[in-house]
Amino acid sequence: MVLTRFRLVLAAALIAPFSLVTLCPAQKAKPASHVSHPWDDKTLSPDRRADMVLEQMTLEEKLGMVHGIGWGVLREGAPYPADSNHGAGYVPGIARLGIPKIDLADSAVGVRMSAFDGRYSTLLPSALALASTWDLDAAHLYGEVIGRELRAQGYNMSIGGGMDLTREPRNGRNFEYAGEDPVLAGNMVGRLAMGVQSQHVMGDIKHYALNDQETLRNTINVVMDKRAMRETDLLAFEIAIKMAEPAGVMCSYNKVNGDWACENDYLLNQVLKKDWGFKGWVLSDWEATHSTVKAANAGLDQEMPGEDYFGQKLKDAITARQVSMDRLNDMNHRILRSMFAAGVIDYPIQRSVVDPFKGKEDAQHIAEESIVLLKNEGGQLPLVAGKSRRIALIGGHADVGVLSGGGSAQVDAPGGNAIDPQHGGTVWGKPVYFPSSPMKAIRKLAPSASVTYISGDDTASAATAAKDADVAVVFATQFMTEGADAPTLSLPDEQDALISAVAAANPHTIVVLETGGPVSMPWLANVSAVLAAWYPGIGGGESIADLLFGQANPSAKLPITFAKSESDLPEPNIVGWAERYPTSDNGGPRHAPSVDLHYKDSLAVGYRWYEVNKRQPLFAFGHGLSYTTFQYSTLHVDGQTRTVQFVVTNTGKLPGAEVAQLYVRLPQAAGEPFQRLAGWERVQLASGEKRTITIKLNPAWISTFDDKADRWQLMPGDYGIEVGGASDAISLKGTIHFSE
Ligand code: BGC
């Protein structure tokens, strides 16, 4: 009997650890040592739960939450904080209260620095490519991929969600952002952040605000009136923040109207927190904190990545009552409530294996919707397999892969840089190609053709190769990275001359662009087709091939204007370029001169500027062709319900998707003589199919901001309604009247 009991106890002891593992589903498991706390009750609101934790916290614990610890792997020789996941930032948890650490990773276009831990991350198409899809579901999916892979790698916060509007088309980070229109960018980035947070990972939107160029980013002072700010760059943030309620908003490096963005009472306290009701926390960009008392009182909640200002100095300021205890509590409340709201406390992170196949499938789906067919003369595309017997591929390392963007958005390529695999990892400032070979994908789709590749380093041999082929496809690349803007709109490395020489040798020349943003095209009239593939991600090679051969029908539309040349830009020369320290790789050093940046016609951002200044763009905002054709008809507007209705018909022979765009023109009294995007719908239509589209106007997107009264106003009067397939291809026009 005694023996039996002993055996039972032993058996139970042996089985217990295993049964614990099998009984607890991975994402819901609480650690065995978990002590339950009153705030574990999921039926309570995140705010209530945060307050309950806050009541138990010591001063030291509160101070510990409001700054990061160290630089992780970002600085050579810097120690890793114990327990950190080697991402860009880390804030220790409070074990006794069951509050986990915050482990955050850069993840603008996929999780950064995963190779450091021998892990894999999916490289998505650039964020600008995502914006070219105008597909809100694709944006959600994009965020889901990032959130899912962050979780799998042990992170619980994303620092992606780039949102700065394209005011400077040469900006090195445009590929991380969502274009030049506030309504498009706000909606796309908002959905992206929702996708991240759907995975129980905290989301972030950055860089708040007006960090629209890298040149002198650490010192430049953007001077802009409230109306222009609120109706453009800040409107984009407002839309996304209200939609997604992200955990974090990262304030930027630059100054706005004289104050650093991270100690700017107007931006942080008055607009973000008071007007928009943002409940999350403001974290500084890395070393963008410049003070303790001013920053804390202006609304900065957390210094990243270290504790120069929000460590001992904040403690001293609290003791001296220069910063109130209420304010410190508010900082903590914001962080804690965001952790509860996103679910990172209820669903603790459990490392698992990233699924590269699922990642690639998602990336490729987004890429196929994101590649813009800019020109297609005489139906050059799609190519017909079997018809073009000799296809010459030229340049852009199209034999091995596709280009990615650099800086803190750089994702590590599996197997190392495809053009230099023996040197493995990524190096800041060096272009990284991903192993998704357009050549291999094209060979697969055209098995009977002779598909050759030549590097394009030698223009004469490239021209000879083109001459001997039925079709020549030039892959032109432009590497862009955080910390540096492009000096001009031209493709680098004499690729314009290469394309011209190839086009002169072969009348069937197609150009595939892999660029961070818009480029000029002096050769445009001489080539028959152009595809803007941006940085197309890990499925890029296959996506480009599918579109070239009509396996997929292009449906993307430009989220950004392509200018003919620099002389058509608001600033022909980048402001601050001359003052920028020539050897710096990071937008200019912190002691660089502070130059004022007054954007010309600042209210007329992007395509609006071209209209106001009567400049003809090379390709207009919203432009993008398809292999089928669409017709717009039967416009109905209704001022009472504020709706616009119209019919889109696929009049071509192929199925395809159209992004039907709705622009408004405000009443004359508004003093805004330009189009404003007010809505759109992406519709998939079979050949001959028609669809009635109804768009309800959102007053918040077509209002004006009254500086003096400090409020929004929907002007009474007649609004011009314009519907079509691009900002410069308006098919239907009407007027809608709003009374007071
Ligand atoms: C960038 C941020 C990034 C941070 C951490 C900064 O230089 O501006 O976008 O999240 O570094 O890597």
Q: What's the pLDDT tens digit per position in 87-137?
A: 999 999 999 999 999 999 999 999 998 988 889 999 999 999 999 999 999
What mean pLDDT comes out for the span 508-524?
98
Which tokens hold the place of 712? Answer: 């929004």
Q: Which helix (H) or strand (E) holds 79?
A: none
Q: Counting Cβ atoms within 10 Å, is residue 402 exposed (0-12), middle (13-18) or buried (19+)?
A: buried
Tokens matching residue 514: 């892999």
Q: Which of 112-116, 417-421, 530-534 has the lowest mean pLDDT?
A: 112-116
| CA neighbor of 49 nearest in space, from 343, 336, 247 | 336
pLDDT per position as a tens digit, 558-595: 999 999 999 999 999 999 988 775 555 556 667 777 89
Could you give the CA distance from residue 177 to residue 35 in angstroms, rounded to a whole number? 43
CB neighbour list of residue 182: distance below 8 Å, 6 or more residues apart = 165, 231, 232, 233, 235, 236, 239, 605
Which atom in ligand 1 lies closest to the alpha carbon of residue 586? 7
| pLDDT for the residue numbered 425 | 72
Q: For 380-397, how does the pLDDT look when each residue is reduced to its tens digit (9 = 90+)?
A: 999 999 898 999 999 999
pLDDT of residue 8: 31
Greater confidence (114 vs 505) lies with: 505
Q: Is the pLDDT of residue 697 over 80?
A: yes
Top-confidence residue, 423 or 550: 550
| CA 285 to centroid of ligand 1, rounded, Å | 6
| Integer CA distances (angstroms), 330 to 54, 103, 281, in order | 10, 21, 9
Pocket lining: 177 vs ligand 1, CB cutoff 6 Å: no
Can you tell me the distance from the alpha carbon of 482 to that of 173, in angstroms, rounded to the nearest whole number? 5
Q: Which of 103, 285, 412, 568 is catalytic?
A: 285
pLDDT tier at 322, thresholds 50, 70, 90: very high
Q: Is the pLDDT of residue 13 over 60?
A: no
Mean pLDDT value of segment 459-482: 98
pLDDT in tens, 337-360: 999 999 999 999 989 999 999 999
Distance 153 CA to ligand 1 centre (A): 19
For this structure, is 546 an active site residue? no
Query: Which residue from 113, 211, 216, 285 has its CB within 8 A of the most atoms of ligand 1, so it is best to mutate?
Result: 285
433: closest CA among 414, 409, 455? Answer: 414
**206 C-alpha to ligand 1 centroid (Å):** 9
Taking residues 298-323, report their average pLDDT: 97
What's the DSSP call for residue 551? S
- Give yes or no for a contact between 256 and 298, defined as CB atoms under 8 angstroms apart: no
CA 168, distance to chain mean position in Å, is 16
Percentages helix, strand, coil for the chain (3-state, rounded to 5) are 35, 20, 45
CA distance 253 to 261: 7
User: What is the mean pLDDT of the segment spanning 471-499?
Assistant: 97
Cα(523)–Cα(527) distance, integer angstroms:
7
| Whole-angstrom distance, CA of residue 218 vs CA of residue 216 | 5
**Does the beta carbon of 159 lie inside 6 Å of ligand 1?**
yes
Residue with the two structure tokens 């291999």: 440
Ligand 1 centroid to Cα of residue 502, in Å, is 40
CA of 93 to the centre of ligand 1 (A): 22
Distant-in-sequence contacts of 84-90, Cβ < 8 A, 24+ apart? 85/117, 85/153, 85/154, 85/155, 86/113, 86/116, 86/117, 87/112, 87/113, 87/155, 88/112, 88/113, 88/159, 88/286, 88/305, 88/408, 89/159, 89/286, 89/304, 89/305, 90/305
Q: Which residue has the tokens 């087709």?
A: 529
pLDDT at 200: 98
Model confidence band, residue 75 (pLDDT cutoffs 50, 70, 90): low
Q: Whose CA is nearest to atom 7 of ligand 1?
A: 286
How many beta carbons lie within 10 A of that of residue 581, not counting itself?
14
Radius of gyration of the chain (CA): 27
Shortest-distance Cα residue to atom 8 of ligand 1: 285
**Exposure string over 587-620, b if 16+ CB within 10 A, otherwise e:** bbeeebebbebebeebbbbbbbbbbeeeeebbbb
- Give the rounded distance of the alpha carbon of 418 from its chain centre: 24
| Contact residues for 273 (Cβ-Cβ < 8 A; gap 6+) | 299
Query: H-helix or E-strand containing 662?
Result: strand 656-665
Instruction: Give the C-alpha separation, 691 to 356, whole Å.
Output: 37
Q: Which atom of ligand 1 is nearest to the CA of 162?
A: 9
Residue corresponding to tokens 């912190």: 590
For residue 390, the model assigns a pLDDT of: 97
Collect all residues with Cβ–Cβ distance below 8 Å to 557 and sequence separation of at least 6: 132, 134, 372, 622, 623, 624, 659, 661, 725, 726
Mean pLDDT rounded to a whole number for the chain: 93
Cα 615 to Cα 212, 562, 567, 675, distances in angstroms: 22, 11, 10, 14
pLDDT exceeds 50 at position 10 = no
**pTM given for the model:** 0.94
Q: Output the pLDDT for position 22.
A: 28
Q: Is 206 in the pocket of ligand 1 (CB under 6 A)?
A: yes
Question: Does the Cβ of 88 fall within 6 Å of ligand 1?
Answer: yes
Cα distance from N-terminal residue to C-terminal residue, the chain:
89
Give the C-alpha separation, 528 to 499, whole Å: 12
* Whether 523 contacts 466, CB under 8 Å: no
Instruction: Please choose, from the candidates 561, 564, 570, the residue with its C-alpha nearest in 3D space to the C-alpha of residue 517.
Output: 561
Question: For 601, left (φ over 0), alpha (ψ -120 to 50), or beta?
Answer: left
Calculate what percentage of the chain has a pLDDT beyond 90: 87
- Tell how far CA 204 is from the center of its chain: 11
What size, in residues, is the chain?
Answer: 740
CA dihedral over 251, 253, 254, 258, signed as positive or negative = positive
Q: Regarding predicted confidence, which is higher, 19 or 335?
A: 335
Residue 683 CA to residue 45 CA, distance in Å, equals 38
Determine the residue type at 721: I
SS3 524: helix
The string of DSSP letters for 339-373 reads HHHHTTTTS--------HHHHHHHHHHHHHHH-EE
The one-letter amino acid code at 603 reads L
From the CA of 547, how far away is ligand 1's center (Å)?
34
- Taking residues 262-277, report their average pLDDT: 98
Atom 11 of ligand 1, residue of closest alpha carbon: 286
Q: Is 106 in the pocket of ligand 1 (CB under 6 A)?
A: yes
pLDDT at residue 521, rounded to an integer: 98
Question: Looking at ligand 1, which atom is closest to the CA of residue 106?
Answer: 10
Take residue 276 and report the two structure tokens written for it: 């928009």
Total Cβ atoms within 10 A of residue 470: 15
